[in-house]
Amino acid sequence: GAGVSQSPRYKVTKRGQDVALRCDPISGHVSLYWYRQALGQGPEFLTYFNYEAQQDKSGLPNDRFSAERPEGSISTLTIQRTEQRDSAMYRCASSITPPGSSSYEQYFGPGTRLTVT
């Protein structure tokens, strides 16, 4: 496919369970970003990668959240011991930017809607 894909599209989980959300960026894109969007709110930055290196994780809410991109392409956002307040749409985006470049366009995936019951 030509765009950013995410899986699963919908995830319902019980409180206390771990979840893993996957992002498959556009092939060749260097930068990958994770965002969270609660219902009725704007997007909130979580973390981003250039290649496999996590550049900034200051937006991750707490240590239950982690992300990896081990081979510089697919990324996984993991939430351990989920809580109801984690319920949100989790989106990723990718851009072609080489590190240090200011010229880029972000392409967003469709998101994973996580519901914690």
Span of 6-14, 19-27, 56-64, 77-85 interacting with other proteins by CB under 8 A: 56-64
Are 113 and 37 spatial neighbours (Cβ–Cβ below 8 Å)? no
Are 94 and 107 spatial neighbours (Cβ–Cβ below 8 Å)? yes
**Binds other proteins (CB under 8 A): choice among 5, 13, 54, 55:** 55
Element (H, E) at 86: none
* 56 forms part of the interface with other proteins (CB under 8 A): yes
* 102 forms part of the interface with other proteins (CB under 8 A): yes
Strands (E), the chain: 5-7, 10-13, 19-24, 31-37, 44-50, 53-56, 65-68, 75-79, 88-95, 107-108, 112-116
* 1 forms part of the interface with other proteins (CB under 8 A): no
Q: With respect to other proteins, which residue has the nearer C-beta, 72 or 80?
A: 72
Are 111 and 91 spatial neighbours (Cβ–Cβ below 8 Å)? yes
Tell me how far, at minimum, the Cβ of 81 lies from other proteins, in Å. 27
**Binds other proteins (CB under 8 A): choice among 43, 74, 80, 96:** 43
What residues make contact with other proteins under the rule CB under 8 A? 33, 35, 41-45, 48, 55-56, 58-59, 89, 91, 102-108, 110-111
